[in-house]
Amino acid sequence: MIYTSGTTGNPKGAVHTHRSFLTGIFPSLRYPEAGPDYTSLSILPLSHVFERLWSYGCMSVGVRIGYCPNPADFVEYMNHFKPQFMTSVPRIWDKVYGMIHAGMKSAGGMKYKMFEWAKGVGLEAYRKDSYGLKYKIADKLVFSKIRAMLGAENCNIYHIGGSAFAPDVNEFFQAVGINIAMGYGLTEFFPVCVGFRDNAIPGYCGCILSMTEVRISDEGEVQLKGGMCMSEYYKNPAATKEIFTEDGWFKTQDVGELHYVEKNGDRLGYIKITDRIKELIITAGGKNISPQQIESLLGQEVMISQFVCIGENRKFISALVIPNFELLEDYCKKNNIEYTSPEQIIQNPAIYKLYEKLIADKTRSLGQVEKIKKFVLLPQELTQEAGELTPTLKLKRKFIDQKYKSLIDKLYAE
**Do you find a cis peptide bond into 58, omega within 30 degrees of 0?**
no
Q: What domains can be seen in the chain, in order of their start residue? A: 1-276 (3.40.50.12780), 280-411 (3.30.300.30)
Tell me: the pLDDT tens digits for 80-126? 999 999 999 888 998 899 899 989 988 989 999 999 999 999 999 99
Contact 86, 158 (CB under 8 A): yes
The angle at the Cα of 262, spanning 260 to 267, to the nearest 5 degrees, equals 65
Q: DSSP assignment, residue 209?
A: P
Contact 41, 68 (CB under 8 A): yes
Asked if residue 278 has pLDDT above 80, the reply is no
pLDDT at position 286 is 75
Residue 414: band (very low, low, confident or very high) from pLDDT cuts 50, 70, 90: low
> What is the mean pLDDT of the segment spanning 255-266?
89
Q: φ, ψ for residue 141 (rounded to 5)? A: -80, -30
Tell me: the pLDDT tens digits for 342-354? 999 999 999 999 9
Q: In what order do the strands lie in the sheet with 317-323?
A: 304-310, 317-323, 372-377
Q: How far lies 129's CA from each of 116, 125, 278, 401, in Å?
A: 20, 6, 38, 44
pTM: 0.81
Asked if residue 282 has pLDDT above 80, the reply is no
More confident residue, 38 or 398: 38
pLDDT at position 281 is 81
Tell me: the pLDDT tens digits for 170-195? 999 999 999 999 999 999 999 999 99
More confident residue, 281 or 354: 354
Residue 340: band (very low, low, confident or very high) from pLDDT cuts 50, 70, 90: very high
Q: How far lies 279's CA from each of 25, 207, 274, 411, in Å?
A: 29, 25, 11, 21
